[in-house]
């Protein structure tokens, strides 16, 4: 996902017909200057001399049945989109705002950004050796509008009025007046480019599952595949981009392998046994207690806690707002009060997690305290029109309900408050202790696909039952989980609506706007709120970084006040464990650990471990 846009010009030409300067540049950025000039040799955070070769392997719980991430059908294989596909522009892990010409040499656009012309490189090829041309760029964009998922079509169908092929290496996008100015260049520049010839000759469709990926221009191709069990990506020996300055010191592994396990416990045992070699740990229990093993004591397995400068995950439970029961804010708040994060963190998570409060956690875009003057200017008209509650103007940004860490059960005051809200909402307690309204029982099913969550969800279920909610845990397999989310067949599930440093109207609509409430893999909660719609629509124009910050603060404040999201927990750092056969740059960039991207294989160390008896 791009978070970029506005320009450090490397050349200017004057266009009399438009009376505007045409900016010709290698990089696009809305705020400030790009970190890298047109003559950069490599990214600052890579080792340009990193050796190529070896394999790195990870695990996945995805029992995949295909290789098409652009359809709602089936379950896609893990990892392949970033390894196989590329866009015209590319972002870096040390700057949240800039995007650089990658498949292009330069881009051109007038000051009003009514158009953008990409001057494509003439040496880019797909993995079958055929050249990428402007026809492929136009074809891919039009294919997405015809066969893309609904949430994509609904948002972008009015952005572009025309795509023109000016020459085999030159393509121009003309934008509509409604297209958000700051999003224009990076939106079209960030789109994957597919092969027109490959699609047409093979009768392919974007909306159908595929047993092999579409043709891409990226560093890897699919090697060995055992559906639902294993997939190997092999480095393309003829990859066109190997010497591009944005790739120097990157994509160093000869192969990247994913092993599929039914659950996290089995996966961890597989890691200890050398079935795969690296994992980004996401379980506090394993991080705190699971690595007291001989392989760590002998130095065969390395554990590292690495700094993370990215916006932290907004992981939380979300309600299915298509169901009438969860449309009442009082009911949602009562349910939220029964989640005891404080006890869970102390007892189950070894005190290692923190609780998110924002969709832009630990960034300047996070709403704090009472609204600033700039926020009030955005919020007051919506309150006056009855689209937002007046309390948003004076209340501090909403925080999660806080419970006592000494007991799994919320305190009496919290239990009384939650019960009072349910009483006000008309849910009466019956003789069996369960609440009913209009003959319906207040039932809540929490859907997960991993046994890892059982120890957290079960105490939550018990707390909900204390206030008369007929709560239950429903664990299903991955394919059922995916399908039920698509079908809206659920009450509550876990979601991560984490946002970027430069939120765009395109992405915000897909996450939070009523335009996508009927069919979306992002707006799964079916959020359709006129006040939030208006705050999202404000991102159509951004006047600078201060304006962006105020609009994000106001939207964050309103999203949190709505209560569709119950924050769970996040890790303030990155936990990485790996068999000691890899190396990495000493200084990592702030926005990525880069395990697959810019680490490399140490063949000599691998031989040493094998000689010592390591099972790898």
Which residues are bridge partners to 258 per DSSP?
58, 231
Alpha helices in 472-580, H assignment, sequence order:
478-487, 505-512, 530-537, 545-562
> Does the pLDDT of residue 9 top 50, yes or no?
no
Nearby residues of 396 by Cβ (< 8 Å), 6 or more positions away: 368, 369, 370
Cα radius of gyration (the chain): 25
Q: What is the mean pLDDT of residues 203-215?
A: 93
pLDDT at 263: 87
Spatial distance between the Cα atoms of 385 and 209, rounded to a whole number of angstroms: 46
Does residue 102 contact residue 112 with C-beta atoms inside 8 Å?
no
Does residue 65 contact residue 73 with C-beta atoms inside 8 Å?
no
More confident position, 345 or 11 = 345
pLDDT at 151: 74
What are the E-state strand segments in 428-487?
428-429, 435-437, 440-441, 443-448, 470-475
Spatial distance between the Cα atoms of 387 and 537, rounded to a whole number of angstroms: 14
Spatial distance between the Cα atoms of 380 and 251, rounded to a whole number of angstroms: 50
Please give the helix or strand (H or E) that residue 477 lies within, else none.
none
> Lowest-confidence range among 71-75, 124-128, 537-541, 551-555?
71-75
> Does the pLDDT of residue 207 top 70, yes or no?
yes
Alpha helices in 248-384, H assignment, sequence order:
264-272, 284-285, 294-297, 329-337, 341-347, 373-384
pLDDT at 72: 79
Q: What is the mean pLDDT of residues 586-605?
A: 97
Q: What is the DSSP letter of 311?
A: P
**pLDDT, tens digit, 9 for 90 and up, residues 106-126:** 999 999 999 999 999 999 999
Spatial distance between the Cα atoms of 398 and 406, rounded to a whole number of angstroms: 24
SS3 451: helix
> Does the pLDDT of residue 513 top 90, yes or no?
yes
**What's the mean pLDDT when you consider all of the chain?**
94
Nearby residues of 181 by Cβ (< 8 Å), 6 or more positions away: 112, 113, 540, 541, 542
- Phi/psi-derived region of residue 203, left when phi > 0, alpha when psi is between -120 and 50, beta in every other case: left
| pLDDT more than 90, % of the chain | 88
Alpha helices in 20-100, H assignment, sequence order:
80-84
Of 77, 89, 62, 84, whose CA–CA distance to 5 is shortest? Answer: 89
Place 451 in a pLDDT band, splitting at 50, 70 and 90. Answer: confident
In three-state form (DSSP H/G/I as H, E/B as E, the rest C), the secondary structure along 193-220 is CCCHHHHHHHCCCCCCCCCCCCCCCCCE
Going by their DSSP bridges, the two strands 443-448 and 470-475 should be labelled as parallel
pLDDT at 13: 37
Place 564 in a pLDDT band, splitting at 50, 70 and 90. Answer: very high
> Does the pLDDT of residue 10 top 60, yes or no?
no
Q: How many CA atoms lie within 13 A of 496 on its CB side?
A: 8
Does residue 8 contact residue 39 with C-beta atoms inside 8 Å?
no
**pLDDT, tens digit, 9 for 90 and up, residues 521-544:** 899 999 999 999 999 999 999 999
Spatial distance between the Cα atoms of 377 and 371, rounded to a whole number of angstroms: 9
**pLDDT, tens digit, 9 for 90 and up, residues 74-95:** 889 999 999 999 999 999 999 9
| pLDDT more than 70, % of the chain | 97
Q: What is the mean pLDDT of residues 211-217?
A: 95
> Does the pLDDT of residue 574 top 50, yes or no?
yes
Cα angle vertex 264, ends 262, 267, to 5°?
75
| Domains of the chain (ranges, CATH numbers) | 7-202 (3.40.190.10), 316-567 (3.10.105.10)
Sign for the CA dihedral angle at 405, 411, 415, 416 comes to negative
pLDDT at 153: 82
* Max CA pair span of the chain: 81
Does residue 499 contact residue 2 with C-beta atoms inside 8 Å?
no
pLDDT at 7: 33
**pLDDT, tens digit, 9 for 90 and up, residues 359-380:** 999 999 999 999 999 999 999 9
Its pTM stands at 0.89
pLDDT at 19: 55
Tokens encoding 399? 């925080």
Count of Cβ atoms closer than 10 Å to residue 286 Cβ: 19
What are the E-state strand segments in 363-460?
428-429, 435-437, 440-441, 443-448
Spatial distance between the Cα atoms of 554 and 387, rounded to a whole number of angstroms: 14
> Does the pLDDT of residue 132 top 60, yes or no?
yes
Q: What is the mean pLDDT of residues 44-58?
A: 98
> Lowest-confidence range among 13-17, 228-232, 239-243, 334-338?
13-17
Of 255, 186, 219, 222, whose CA–CA distance to 68 is shortest? Answer: 222
More confident position, 283 or 1 = 283
Count of Cβ atoms closer than 10 Å to residue 582 Cβ: 21
> Does the pLDDT of residue 3 top 60, yes or no?
no
pLDDT at 479: 85
pLDDT at 452: 82
> Does the pLDDT of residue 588 top 70, yes or no?
yes
Going by their DSSP bridges, the two strands 316-319 and 565-567 should be labelled as antiparallel
pLDDT at 138: 98
> Does the pLDDT of residue 14 top 70, yes or no?
no
Which residue bears the tokens 């439970």?
317
């Amino acid at each position: 996902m791009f978070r970029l846009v506005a320009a450090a010009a490397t050349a200017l030409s004057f266009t009399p017909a438009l009376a505007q300067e045409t900016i010709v540049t290698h990089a696009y950025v809305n705020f400030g200057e790009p970190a890298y000039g047109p003559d950069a040799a490599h990214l600052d955070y890579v080792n340009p001399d990193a050796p190529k070769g070896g394999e790195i392997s990870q695990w996945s719980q995805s029992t995949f049945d295909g290789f098409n991430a652009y359809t709602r059908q089936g379950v896609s294989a893990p990892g392949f989109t970033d390894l196989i596909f590329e866009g015209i522009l590319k972002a870096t892990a040390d700057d949240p705002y800039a995007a650089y010409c990658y498949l292009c040499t330069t881009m051109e656009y007038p000051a009003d950004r009514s158009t953008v012309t990409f001057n494509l490189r003439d040496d880019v090829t797909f993995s079958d050796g055929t050249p990428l041309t402007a026809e492929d760029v136009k074809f891919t964009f039009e294919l997405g509008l015809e066969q893309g998922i609904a949430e994509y079509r609904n948002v972008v169908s009015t952005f572009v009025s025309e795509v023109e092929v000016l020459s085999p290496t030159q393509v121009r996008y003309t934008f509509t007046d409604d297209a958000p100015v700051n999003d224009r260049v990076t939106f079209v520049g960030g789109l994957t480019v597919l092969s027109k010839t490959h699609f047409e000759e093979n009768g392919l469709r974007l909306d159908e599952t595929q047993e092999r990926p579409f043709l891409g221009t990226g560093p890897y191709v699919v090697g060995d595949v055992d559906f639902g069990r294993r997939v190997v990506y092999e480095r393309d020996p003829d990859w066109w981009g190997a010497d591009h300055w944005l790739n120097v010191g990157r994509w160093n592994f000869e192969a990247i392998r994913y092993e599929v396990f039914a659950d996290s416990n089995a996966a961890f045992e597989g890691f200890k046994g050398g079935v795969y070699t690296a994992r980004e740990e996401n379980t506090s229990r394993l991080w705190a207690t699971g690595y007291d093993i001989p392989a760590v004591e002998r130095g065969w397995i390395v554990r590292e806690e690495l700094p993370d400068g990215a916006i932290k995950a907004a992981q939380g439970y979300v309600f299915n707002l298509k169901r009438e029961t969860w449309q009442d804010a009082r009911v949602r708040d009562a349910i939220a009060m029964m989640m005891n994060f404080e006890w869970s963190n102390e007892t189950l998570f070894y005190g290692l997690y923190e609780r998110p409060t924002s969709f832009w956690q630990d960034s300047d875009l996070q709403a704090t305290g009472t609204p600033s003057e700039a926020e009030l200017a955005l919020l007051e008209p919506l309150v006056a029109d009855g689209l937002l509650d007046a309390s948003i103007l004076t209340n501090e940004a909403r925080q999660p309900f806080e419970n006592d860490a000494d007991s799994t059960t919320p305190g009496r005051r919290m239990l009384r408050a939650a019960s009072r809200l349910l009483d006000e909402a008309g849910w009466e307690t019956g003789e069996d202790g369960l609440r009913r309204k209009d003959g319906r029982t207040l039932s809540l099913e929490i859907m997960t696909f991993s046994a890892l969550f059982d120890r957290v969800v079960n105490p939550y279920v018990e707390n909900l039952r204390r206030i008369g909610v007929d709560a239950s845990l429903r664990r299903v397999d991955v394919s059922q989980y995916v399908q039920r989310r698509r079908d809206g067949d659920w009450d509550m599930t876990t979601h991560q609506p984490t946002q970027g440093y430069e939120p765009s109207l395109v992405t915000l609509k897909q996450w939070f706007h009523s335009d996508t409430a009927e069919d979306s893999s992002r707006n799964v909660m079916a959020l359709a709120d006129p006040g939030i719609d208006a705050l999202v629509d404000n991102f159509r124009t951004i006047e600078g970084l201060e304006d962006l910050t105020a609009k994000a603060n106001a939207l964050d404040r309103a999203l949190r006040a709505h209560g569709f999201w119950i924050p769970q927990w996040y890790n303030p750092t990155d936990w990485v464990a790996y068999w000691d056969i890899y190396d990495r740059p000493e200084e990592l960039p702030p926005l990525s650990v880069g395990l697959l991207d810019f680490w490399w294989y140490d063949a000599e160390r691998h031989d040493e471990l094998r000689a010592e008896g390591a099972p790898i």
